[in-house]
Amino acid sequence: MSMHSMASVMDDPTLQSNFKGHKDAITCVDFSPNHKQLATGSADKSLIIWNLSPKARAFRFPGHKDAITGIQFSPFGDLVVSASKDMTVRLWTPSIKGESTVFKAHTAVVRSVSFSHDGQKLVTASNDKSVKVWSVHRHRFLYSLNQHTNWVRCARFSPDGRLLASCGDDRTVRLWDASTKQCVNSFTDYGGSATCVDFNSSGTCIASSGADNSLKIWDLRTNKLLQHYQVHSAGINCFSFHPSGNYLISGSNDNMVKILDLLEGRLIYTLHGHKGPVFAVAFSRGGELFASGGTDAQVLVWKTNFDIIDYRELLSKHSQRVSLDPPPHLLDIYPRGPHLHSPQSGAIKINPVVADTQSTDPDVIDVDQTLYSFMRTKKPLPS
């Protein structure tokens, strides 16, 4: 099936739900691996775990003393990690008990936190200019990466755990070898802070976004710039790769969420859902949903719809193949040299309407208060 006949059966994304419960800007979002929950962190210092099934309660976890800056479920969904301006990182068991382990992680604001893909390690990035790696189960510091010369905004492990990528206000994106702890590459052509960095699912590329409105994708095997998008009209705060590697969503200070088709190298959707800058976007682990959040304190959950290939079916076909040749790479399919992509008139603008208007906002239960009220209600019933 050609790309064009495929495009004709793509459906537009639709807004599935709109969660209200935070009292300040949403700074980070992440879906649980089983697709049943969504975790959000906010400048209101709280973390909320929303249940994606309709009418289910959400749970708010207090604990951090300042704004939450990053959040992620572990690969197996048994832990949630959060980072905060209070200089700590907390590991939560996402249960009604609301138990957490606190790491005094840095000497300044922690900007981001992320699990390695095997769930054994954490990487944190901070305004103290360092990137640190931690053992999840032993709860201890392992090593520090110290070549950034300004605040570090984001750090991530590669899928195989052999590399780390980090970026920040020194306008560089750095690549590190996890075994030697050396900086093996640095990409420095940003016109402003580099705000977010991540690997694609195959680990062959990294993307990073900038305060200079640009989004760039590099091939790690050739160290060449593959794609450069200038589709936002203000700084980009966040982005997320679709698990297939074929799409990317980004959120910006221009209040927009944009969706790029990386194979065709073009902007395909502009989503007008937020009344203010967008600080957080994330695809679910299987790619069927994505979420966005920002200064308007609302969390929007979208059905992807445009990804018509069932990604899990594709993966199972891959694992059935006998010969293990590497998956096709962006370079094989699209740009043969760096070039600039700007917003074409072909991009579809969507002013979303929530599909389900019947259900009210979920009840948000404060975890420490629930425990207290459970204890209180155990009075003997009047006879």
Is 90 exceeded by the pLDDT of residue 176? Answer: yes
Give the residue-averaged pLDDT of 129-150: 95
Pairwise CA distance, residues 25 & 28, whole Å: 9
Residue 278: strand pairing partners? 294
The C-alpha angle with vertex 300 and arms to 7 and 205, in degrees rounded to 5, equals: 55
Across the chain, mean pLDDT equals: 85
DSSP state of 20: E
What per-residue confidence (pLDDT) applies to 311? 52
Is 90 exceeded by the pLDDT of residue 292? Answer: yes
Task: Give, for 330, the enclosing helix (H) or strand (E).
Answer: helix 330-333
What per-residue confidence (pLDDT) applies to 109? 97
Backbone angles phi, psi at 133, to 5 degrees: -115, 135
What per-residue confidence (pLDDT) applies to 352? 66
Band of residue 346 on the pLDDT scale cut at 50, 70, 90: low
Whether residue 301 contacts residue 51, with contact meaning beta carbons closer than 8 Å, is answered with: no
Closest among 248, 348, 254, 351 to 294, alpha carbons compared: 254
Sign of the Cα pseudo-torsion (121, 126, 132, 136, in order): negative
At 101, list the tokens. Answer: 């382990």
CATH architecture of 26-289+340-376: 7 Propeller (2.130)
Whether residue 167 contacts residue 174, with contact meaning beta carbons closer than 8 Å, is answered with: yes
Write the pLDDT tens digit of every residue in 228-272.
Answer: 999 999 999 999 999 999 999 999 999 999 999 999 999 999 999
Could you tell me which residues come within 8 angstroms of residue 9 by beta carbon, excluding any fewer than 6 positions away?
Answer: 308
Sign of the Cα pseudo-torsion (29, 275, 237, 208, in order): positive
Amino acid at 281: V
Pairwise CA distance, residues 123 & 62, whole Å: 23
Give the residue-averaged pLDDT of 116-145: 96
The number of CA neighbours under 13 Å toward the Cβ of 39 is 27
What per-residue confidence (pLDDT) applies to 310? 54
Closest among 257, 150, 244, 145 to 201, alpha carbons compared: 244
Pairwise CA distance, residues 275 & 65, whole Å: 27
What per-residue confidence (pLDDT) applies to 328? 39
Could you tell me which residues come within 8 angstroms of residue 78 by beta carbon, excluding any fewer than 6 positions away?
Answer: 93, 94
Amino acid at 184: V
Is 60 exceeded by the pLDDT of residue 343? Answer: no
Query: Pairing between strand 100-104 and 110-115?
Result: unpaired
> What percent of the chain lies above the pLDDT cut of 90?
68
* pTM for this entry: 0.84
Amino acid at 5: S
Band of residue 365 on the pLDDT scale cut at 50, 70, 90: confident
Distances 217 to 141, 189, 251, 318 between C-alpha atoms, Å? 31, 12, 16, 25
Closest among 123, 131, 165 to 148, alpha carbons compared: 131
At 148, list the tokens. Answer: 């950034």
Helix, strand, coil abundance in the chain, percent, nearest 5: 10, 45, 50
Residue 125: strand pairing partners? 112, 131
DSSP state of 272: -
Give the residue-averaged pLDDT of 351-379: 55
What per-residue confidence (pLDDT) applies to 97? 78
- DSSP codes of every residue in 180-234: T--EEEEE---SS-EEEEEE-TTSSEEEEEETTS-EEEEETTTTEEEEEE---SS
What per-residue confidence (pLDDT) applies to 377? 33
Whether residue 260 contacts residue 267, with contact meaning beta carbons closer than 8 Å, is answered with: yes
At 179, list the tokens. Answer: 């075994």
DSSP state of 116: -
Band of residue 357 on the pLDDT scale cut at 50, 70, 90: very low
- pLDDT higher for 296 or 2? 296
Is 80 exceeded by the pLDDT of residue 107? Answer: yes
> What percent of the chain lies above the pLDDT cut of 70?
81
Is 60 exceeded by the pLDDT of residue 127? Answer: yes
Pairwise CA distance, residues 207 & 228, whole Å: 10
Pairwise CA distance, residues 45 & 152, whole Å: 21
Backbone angles phi, psi at 64, to 5 degrees: -70, 150
Residue 15: strand pairing partners? 302
Task: Give the lowest-confidence range in 6-10, 28-32, 342-346.
Answer: 6-10
Is 50 exceeded by the pLDDT of residue 321? Answer: no
